[in-house]
Structure 1
Amino acid sequence: MGNAPKGPESKQKFSTNHKPQSSFDLLTVEANNELECFTYGVNHNGEGICLLVSMGPHRFLLDCGLIDISSLVKDMENFSQTTDFPLPVDGILVTHAHPDHSRGLLALHKEFPLIPIYASEVTSELLHLNWLDCEQSVPQFCQALPLRTAVELKEGLLVELYPAGHLPGAVIIMLTYITPKQTYSLMYTGDFFLSNSRLVEGLRLEELRGFPLDVLVVGATYGTLHHPHRRHQENQLVERINSAIKKGYSVILPTPPLGLGQELLMLLRSHHYFTGRDIDIWVDGAVAIGCDAYLKLLPHLPASVQNFARYQPLFWDERVRPRVRRLNPEEHSSMSQSLCIILTDSLEKLSGYYQSNDKPWLILIPEKTEVKLEEQSLKKVMVETYFLAQHSDASGTTQLIHNLRPQHIIFVHGSPNYLTDLACLEELQNRYHIHSPTANMLVELPIGEVLLQPNSFDTSYKGEITELGTMVTITLPDEIVTNPRWRQFADTGLVEARWQGEDLIVRGLSPKELISQTHNRYTSYDIDCCSICKYQRKQRCWNQASHLYNFKVTLDGYCPAFKHKNQED
């Protein structure tokens, strides 16, 4: 493509917090930096991910999950009209097929059909699931790149893909730009997961160690949050489903059509609570279509999954219990006559599953998913949330960073508050140049220079403690309420405090927890069970002598270490 055109206007320099008049100006500036990144979208508020990376004369888009691509198209058109470059970018590199990383690709391909689009082989086969509502057939517009193999896309520019966990076909993208004087390297994780899930092997850190890395663009969805092990999360969910079915409830699991839906189905099929159990699992909508797509990709799934499929069908099976069936429209009235589990992507039509009978239902939705139900149905329907991580938490993120040791880190993909908390970690601030840009921001990435760390937002608040007889008052400055998380923390006006070593931890009580506590008051006191055990707090066991210590327990459970809440030690 040659070097960017030189001229008086091309010698301007943009700072990290300055937005150029046109975001494609960064492609025509003659700057001292060989590396720059413009953020069309960082998925702070669901807008999707789209990053424009400049490495010397080469320009690539990393993902295109934008809901609205109009500003991107406008900038690309302006660039094509004002320069002699045949294309506004050299190509588009896609990490995986989830909508927030890929839903804008089809519209962008229609606008610029000559721009090559690259992804892994599996992702190229899954992308079409983003446009199931498209009236016309979706063309195969994505070129598959091999894994763990350096491919020279442009002169001096190499790209390598490494499995990232998270979703079949998801990859980490490694870009290397080689010049006679110096070699530059940038890695983009997209969504990654270090833990193994049911259908995807986790990211192997040993494959990435030893890279001389300049820039790491990392998806840090959970910020500084820490989560229990993935298997523990799965067991908690399965225990809740099992408890509901024992009490006569059928269960609905609304889920995204690709990834989590198939993970849940495989979990229900293979967990010992349900193996051989006389129950029907119905799969509806786009979740079923996603299952069909997985079946075509069986050779790319983990060896354990392939071995499972040698002895019984991976998904559709009416012979082996629990039976797994595709839900057709004519079966809606009959499927709910007996206890069943339904997996669906249709959040708006949930009432269609449970309104045909008077049996009780439990709807389990992923955390931070909004579901609206018809009021007349709420008497027979319980709605609860569950958590099943799809990304690495703070431990996984910092582990990846410390293994790669880049000079610059760019945090994307997550709540701005979560990313700010992560960027303020002392262990990162002292070692790396941290960037946490918003959308439409140019991030300059000078290599080899000693830079002062940009001013970070102080996430701590200093207050006072006053003891008044039998009451202790904690006073905090009023600027704490300006943080968007304050509304959730103070929603009920009640807090819970507990000791953690020498530190006192204070947290807000949510309306859901208050309702749960109110419900627990009516638990029978005639039977020895966890609900009246002195070591049970917030449905978790704190008796170190119990084999359930630090695990979440069901309120009607029991163990030999039980002690009544009124019993003295």
Structure 2
Amino acid sequence: MTHLACYAYGVGHADEGVCLRLEIDNYRILLDCGLKNLASLIDNPITTAASASPLTGIAPSTVMSVAAPQIDCVICSHAHTDHAYGLLALHQTFPHIPIYASHITAHLLPLNWPEQTVQNTLCQALPWRSPIEIFDRLTIEFIPAGHLPGAAAILLSYREPHSERVMRVFYSGDFYLSNTRLATGLRLEEIRGLMPDVLILEGSYGTQRHPHRRQQENRLMERIAQALHDQQSILLPVPTIGLGQELLFLLRSHYLFSGRNLDIWVQGLIAMGCDAYLDLISQLPIAVQNFAQTQPLFWDEKVQPRVQRGQPPHQTEPCIVLTDAHTDLSHFCHHGQWLVLFPEATTSTVEWKSHAPTATDPSEAIVTAETYWLSEHSDGNTTLQLIHSLRPQHVLFVHGASDTLADFAHLDELSSRYKIHMPQPGTLVELPVAESAIVDTNLPETRYAGEVAETTTEILISLPIDFTLDPRWKSFADTGVVEAYWQDQQLIIRGMAPTELTSNNAGASQLSRNCLSCQFYRNQRCNNQDSPLFQLQVTPDGYCLEFAATDIAN
């Protein structure tokens, strides 16, 4: 059996970046490198009396050279610091190790190291949705993951040398099923039924439920509009890429601010991030491209609201300022009233609050601070939808606080169907794969003609007895119970596994508690206004806490 395992250098707890080593047979693939210190990646450093290179992160005592890590390649899911910060040091120390990323990510990566010159050779850009063989029998495919322009979910497929079976690992990176202003969400229809052997999944928000993204945006815009009405200026500390550009475009395009006589100022690295986005307009959503054809996407001193670089001058009229997350915010609030808005969903909020400005002279400035919620990751229910759509054997949860990830691991609907893991830094998780679950691409695509008969009480589907000669029939008919549901215009019929049916009654109960059997499920969408899935396209086997059984299910 092919060796399959995952070693964790960092899993995104607190300030720790994400860095995982995936082991498939004899290959070692590094998934992201958000480490601030590369010492854990280096095996048996060779020491001499010389000074150490600061890139390795090893104590500056006596390191002269280091042994190369046992890594065949690095795959970067997206350009956020907690996934990419260690890439430059790794490349400068071991330039022979190839680094792969999407075209957009390759363009945004240098923003993580603004004080250094980053060569174009840092990483190799790969296209979307095109399986590429990077090593013998090992292919990689990038799938747009939402969350951030260029963010990729990664599908790795390995064909075993003797059996010709294919093993698949799906790494979500940071993903978001909903569309944001500048990134299209991950499309479930592209990956539904993929059935990877291993799913490595972020669980940033745990099992929390969130309002729809547009509702979050409207609440934030309404709060900012109210503050401006109250003669307060707004200060928004944000990361270099992602949230800052989202907020700036939202302020430019939202109906509460479009055409409003207002000055918006953009500081420091946020402005550099905006410039990088301008180079990528042709790869942003169509709505953004259309907007950019009529007026500038960011910088505009004529069309209201006006957007400019730099720090606002002393003025009496309220304004909005976007600045770097870790800047000393007291530099901005000298006169008048200020409202500082921190993103509640960001793990660095506590650190940012320590930089919040305080008025030394109350007669000069009045400063208040609040938090807002603008999610950048999928919530608990949509994360469950992704898992059930993929149907993996193993699920590894990373990127989130230990207690929020544990909430996922303890859900019965996951632990009863999948093998759940929560890797910790410095640990190796073995991932044995059941033979029956490995997809054999050599199986024939045989089609059978059948008949459908409708009676007053039931529908009968008859197929020829030759159907049972197919090797897949045994697993399909193992329990004698099937589930049927509509997918677009096609009727899907699947066999229920023994683990899904502890007994006839339990099986019936389980089957009833899904979107398919919910009275609000119509045309593949949720119509329950109290559900976080309201108006979203959902899979038939999805579930949320607002489930309401139909009369038939009851």
Alignment deviations for residues 177-211 of structure 1 (CA, whole Å, 9 cap, x no partner):
00131211101001000000000010001111232
Write the distance in 2 (CA, Å) between the matches of 1:299 and 1:324. Answer: 21
**Of 72, 83, 105, which residue of structure 2 is paired with 1:123?**
105
Structure 1 partner of 2:89: 107
Q: Which amino acid aligns with 2:390?
A: L
**Of 424, 440, 453, which residue of structure 1 is paired with 2:426?**
440
Task: Indicate how the Cα distance of structure 1 residues 150 and 77 shifts in structure 2: closer, same or farther if over 3 A, else same.
Answer: farther
Q: Which amino acid aligns with 1:200?
A: A
Deviation at 1:351, TM superposition (A): 1.2
**Of 370, 376, 387, which residue of structure 2 is paired with 1:384?**
370
Structure 1 partner of 2:19: 50
Write the distance in 2 (CA, Å) between the matches of 1:86 and 1:282. Answer: 45
User: Is 1:268 matched with 2:245?
Assistant: no
Deviation at 1:265, TM superposition (A): 0.4
Deviation at 1:346, TM superposition (A): 4.5
Deviation at 1:403, TM superposition (A): 0.2
User: Is 1:60 matched with 2:29?
Assistant: yes
Q: Which amino acid aligns with 1:97?
A: A
Structure 2 partner of 1:339: 318
**Of 283, 286, 301, which residue of structure 1 is paired with 2:266?**
283
Task: Indicate how the Cα distance of structure 1 residues 388 and 220 shifts in structure 2: closer, same or farther if over 3 A, else same.
Answer: same
Deviation at 1:140, TM superposition (A): 3.4
Q: Which amino acid aligns with 2:400?
A: G
Give the percent of matched residue pairs that are identical in Structure 1 and Structure 2.
50
Structure 1 partner of 2:404: 418
User: Is 1:352 matched with 2:334?
Assistant: no
Alignment deviations for residues 269-296 of structure 1 (CA, whole Å, 9 cap, x no partner):
1111101110001111111100000000
Deviation at 1:87, TM superposition (A): 7.3
Structure 2 partner of 1:73: 42
Aligned residues: 411
Aligned partners of 2:259 and 2:304 also within 8 Å: yes
* 5+ residue gaps, structure 2: 48-66, 438-528, 533-554
Write the distance in 2 (CA, Å) between the matches of 1:306 and 1:254. Answer: 26
Q: Which amino acid aligns with 1:316?
A: W
TM-score by length of structure 1 reads 0.69
Structure 2 partner of 1:495: none
Structure 2 partner of 1:166: 147
Aligned partners of 2:43 and 2:69 also within 8 Å: no
TM-score by length of structure 2 reads 0.71
Aligned partners of 1:410 and 1:437 also within 8 Å: yes
Deviation at 1:248, TM superposition (A): 0.5
Structure 1 partner of 2:456: none
Quick check: 293-302 or 32-41, which moved more?
Answer: 32-41
Alignment deviations for residues 70-101 of structure 1 (CA, whole Å, 9 cap, x no partner):
111236989xxxxxx99722110010000000
Aligned partners of 2:68 and 2:94 also within 8 Å: no
SS in structure 1 at match of 2:377: coil
Structure 2 partner of 1:396: 382
| Superposition map of 1:70-219 within 5 A | 70-74=39-43, 88-134=70-116, 136-179=117-160, 180-181=162-163, 182-219=165-202
Aligned partners of 1:73 and 1:111 also within 8 Å: no
Task: Indicate how the Cα distance of structure 1 residues 212 and 348 shifts in structure 2: closer, same or farther if over 3 A, else same.
Answer: closer
Deviation at 1:350, TM superposition (A): 1.1
Deviation at 1:347, TM superposition (A): 3.3
Structure 2 partner of 1:466: none
Q: Which amino acid aligns with 1:91?
A: C
Deviation at 1:375, TM superposition (A): 4.0
Aligned partners of 1:131 and 1:138 also within 8 Å: no
Deviation at 1:550, TM superposition (A): 11
Q: Which amino acid aligns with 1:407?
A: Q
Write the distance in 2 (CA, Å) between the matches of 1:186 and 1:276. Answer: 48
Task: Indicate how the Cα distance of structure 1 residues 225 and 385 shifts in structure 2: closer, same or farther if over 3 A, else same.
Answer: same
Alignment deviations for residues 392-421 of structure 1 (CA, whole Å, 9 cap, x no partner):
000111000000000000000000000001
Structure 1 partner of 2:340: 363
Write the distance in 1 (CA, Å) between the matches of 2:318 and 2:3. Answer: 61
**Of 376, 392, 416, which residue of structure 2 is paired with 1:430?**
416
Structure 1 partner of 2:237: 254
Aligned partners of 2:329 and 2:357 also within 8 Å: no
Computed over aligned residues only, the root mean square deviation of the Cα atoms, in angstroms, reads 2.3
Deviation at 1:212, TM superposition (A): 3.4
Write the distance in 2 (CA, Å) between the matches of 1:386 and 1:86. Answer: 44
Write the distance in 1 (CA, Å) between the matches of 2:3 and 2:338. Answer: 58
Q: Which amino acid aligns with 2:286?
A: A
Task: Indicate how the Cα distance of structure 1 residues 263 and 86 shifts in structure 2: closer, same or farther if over 3 A, else same.
Answer: closer
Q: Which amino acid aligns with 1:143?
A: Q
User: Is 1:409 matched with 2:395?
Assistant: yes
Write the distance in 2 (CA, Å) between the matches of 1:207 and 1:172. Answer: 11
Alignment deviations for residues 454-479 of structure 1 (CA, whole Å, 9 cap, x no partner):
xxxxxxxxxxxxxxxxxxxxxxxxxx
* 5+ residue gaps, structure 1: 1-31, 79-84, 452-547, 552-569
SS in structure 2 at match of 1:410: strand
Write the distance in 1 (CA, Å) between the matches of 2:361 and 2:35. Answer: 36
Alignment deviations for residues 482-530 of structure 1 (CA, whole Å, 9 cap, x no partner):
xxxxxxxxxxxxxxxxxxxxxxxxxxxxxxxxxxxxxxxxxxxxxxxxx
Deviation at 1:348, TM superposition (A): 3.4
Alignment deviations for residues 348-388 of structure 1 (CA, whole Å, 9 cap, x no partner):
32111112x2x111000111502233544485001000010
Task: Indicate how the Cα distance of structure 1 residues 418 and 293 shifts in structure 2: closer, same or farther if over 3 A, else same.
Answer: same
